[in-house]
Structure 1
Amino acid sequence: MNLDLVTKSDLLELKSDLIEEIKRIIPLQTAAPDEYLKSSEVRKLMKISAGTLLHLRVSGKLPFTKIGRIVYFSREDIRRILGKGTPDDAVVKRLFRGEANEECK
């Protein structure tokens, strides 16, 4: 049986290597947090339920990006859908009927 000993200096070296690797990974995951919104933020902004947001996502009327289990929506897509001065409820109703697509382009 072959035994390997791990010394305190080995553990410290591993720790510093792990910290450096995490520092390289984290900026990639947190890049541009203002450009993308999570589902809960979109629901609050549009004043819609989780089911309505799911319907908009599944029907392709609201583009999204999924990373792992988290769904992200582009802030610009949300702005385009909501438009200026348009009541949120009216926009959502038109989205279901497909009328808002021309306004969003």
Structure 2
Amino acid sequence: MATVEFVTKEDLEQFKRELFAELCRPMYRPQKPKEQKEWLKSYEVRKLLGISPGTLQSLRRKGTLRFSKVGGLMFYRYEDVIEMMNQSKK
């Protein structure tokens, strides 16, 4: 035979306190979305666009995508990459 259990107001209050304490623990805090970096390296741009190193080089050479060279590394502004993508859609 099934037994009947009652949930009292005190049970609910206890549950609320335990749930609140659990949600306040550091591992349960919602994480902020990563902020987009202003400058991207070549491999990040290739991954973002899904293109090969040669295609990225062609975009640089044609002037389609602006870049800055620091030492031996190429850097691209995230805004420029997005702008180039928007231009190609038009």
**Separation of aligned partners in 1, 2:84 and 2:62:** 15
1:32-52 residue CA offsets vs partner (Å, 9 max, x unmatched): x81000000000000000000
Query: How does the TM-score come out when normalised to structure 2?
Result: 0.55
Q: 1:57: which partner in 2?
A: 60
Number of residues of Structure 1 aligned to a counterpart in Structure 2: 55
Normalised to the residue count of structure 1, the TM-score between the two structures is 0.48
Q: What residue number does 1:47 align with?
A: 50
Partner of 2:77: 74
Structure 1 residue runs without a partner (length 5+)? 1-32, 84-98
Higher Cα radius of gyration? 2
Counterparts of 1:59 and 1:82, CA distance in 2 = 15
| Identity percentage of aligned residues | 43
Listed as ranges, the matches of 1:12-51 within 5 Å are 34-51=37-54
